[in-house]
A and B are shown apart, each in its own frame.
Chain A
Amino acid sequence: MSDEVKVNQTLDVRGEICPNPDVKSMTALEKMEKGQILEVLIDYPLSLERIPRNAENRKHKVLKIEQISGPEHRILIEAKANR
């Protein structure tokens, strides 16, 4: 995986049950400084849709969502971008 963006923190929540991927992602984003990039590695379809939606609601910015393989995806979020 090549990054154009520099990732400040990677959160690997693959295998985790609902709602741990979401809770951990939102908590991590709150603790980060504005402009820092969070990379979330996830394989749970519901959270894959819910995390971007809730991140945007909380004024973070979703930069990219890309599939790694099968259900595994990578989400890049810029913390507090719109705050």
Chain B
Amino acid sequence: MSLLVLTGIPVGLAFGFALSRGRFCMNSAFRDIIVMKDYALIKAVGVALLVAMIGFALMDLTGVIAINPKPLFWGANMLGGFVFGIGMVLAGGCASGITYRTGEGMVGAMSAVAGFAIVAVATAAGAFKPVVTFLQSSTKVTLADGGSPTLANVFGIPYYALALGIAAVAIILWVIFAVRGRKAEKEEKAPLGTRIFKKGWGWTSTGIVIGIISIIAFPASAAAGRNYPLGITGGWKTLLLSFETGQNSLTWESFLIIGTIVGACIAALIAGEFKLRAPAPNVIIQTFFGGALMGFGAIVSKGCNVGHILSGVPQLSLGSILGGAFIVLGCWFMAYWLFLRPMRKLGA
């Protein structure tokens, strides 16, 4: 284990701080679209993906990094993603969400993390491993040279060119919509210190900061032997596995997790938002179970919302695009039954 894995800690501190200040949770981002018809968080996700895509493309072009898209195993990506999506809704948060909210003192998130880590290890290295092996090996699709398919390489376009092209289109669309929807600014802006540490961040700032952290994460993690940007599942898996067996399986991602929890805790403390608080006992059981589904789904699909959506989609990995799409579908499926349908019946 290279000592460079320790750079996961400062990156994690920044990540946790930003997640907390930005209230950045991809479960809420997707679920709010259909349940609340609220789009603040999905816009933040979009901005983060856009910034990361531009950064990864430029780094790939200049040789700072070499992209490392996750493999496509369509059966595993679909099933794992769907189960993960269902789990997120029961857990009340995505993988990064339950991680950072653990640092803010929320016992419901801690319970979800426990389920997540325990079942992730069982799926990666224990009782459920045969499911992974079967699904991944029987539905794997690679390029002729054995590499992972991406939107770019299946069409024979260089990655950086397609990524920058997509980013350009996205920016043009963003500008068009922003100009059309321009409202007069009513509020006076609070002082900068207050806006950074005390109040929540807006979606644009949150997306940009998270995107930048993604960009920094890639070369930092690569230098430490793990050639991939941000992730969550692997971090928890390696922490628990090392803890239980005494064998050091720690990676850069393990230290990212530690940093993320501490960073979120510090952010909450400064903002006066830290408090140990718990939901009702049946909800604690529910979030544990939701986390368990997430752990299973993430290992089967070889990615969670961070590994696939935040980190994989900007690399244009087909496995991550498919896995990510099914995470959203699983989320919407569960959110419909758990929230939307009951709300409609009550007239909300």
Assess A15 versus B278: contact at CB under 8 Å? Given A31-B347, A50-B32.
yes
Number of A-B pairs, beta carbon distance below 8 Å:
84
- C-alpha spacing A18/B106, complex, angstroms: 11
A50 touches B347 (CB 8 A): no
Q: In the docked arrangement, what's the CA distance between A53 and B106, Å?
A: 23
| Tally of chain B residues near chain A (CB < 8 A) | 35
**B93 close to A (CB within 8 Å):** yes
Q: Is the CB of A18 within 8 A of B92?
A: yes
| Any B CB within 8 A of the CB of A16 | yes
A46 and B28 contacting across the interface, CB-CB below 8 Å: yes
Distance A72 CA – B275 CA, assembled complex (angstroms): 9
In the complex, which residues of chain B have a beta carbon less than 8 angstroms from the beta carbon of A72?
A: 275
Across the interface, B279 reaches (CB within 8 A) one of A16, A45, A53, A67, namely A16
**Smallest beta-carbon distance A73→chain B, Å:** 10
Interface status of B312 (Cβ within 8 A of chain A)? no
What is the CA–CA distance of A46 and B268 in the complex, to the nearest angstrom? Answer: 12
- Asked if B302 is an interface residue, CB under 8 A from chain A, the answer is no
State whether A30 touches B348 (Cβ < 8 A). Answer: yes
User: With A17-B287, A53-B38, A71-B272 given, is the CB distance from A26 to B348 under 8 Å?
Assistant: yes
What is the chain B residue whose CB lies nearest that of A43?
B277
Of residues 9 through 42 on chain A, the ones whose CB sits less than 8 Å from some CB of chain B are 14-19, 22-23, 26-27, 29-31
A to B CB contacts below 8 Å, 18 in the list: A15-B280, A17-B92, A17-B93, A17-B106, A18-B27, A19-B32, A22-B35, A23-B348, A26-B36, A44-B106, A46-B23, A49-B23, A50-B28, A50-B36, A57-B37, A71-B272, A71-B275, A72-B275
Residues B275 and A45 in contact, CB atoms below 8 Å apart: no
B274-A17 in contact (CB<8A): no
Q: Given the complex of chains A and B, what is the CA–CA distance between A46 and B23 in angstroms? A: 6
Task: Tell me, rounded to whole Å, the shortest Cβ–Cβ distance linking A22 to chain B.
Answer: 6
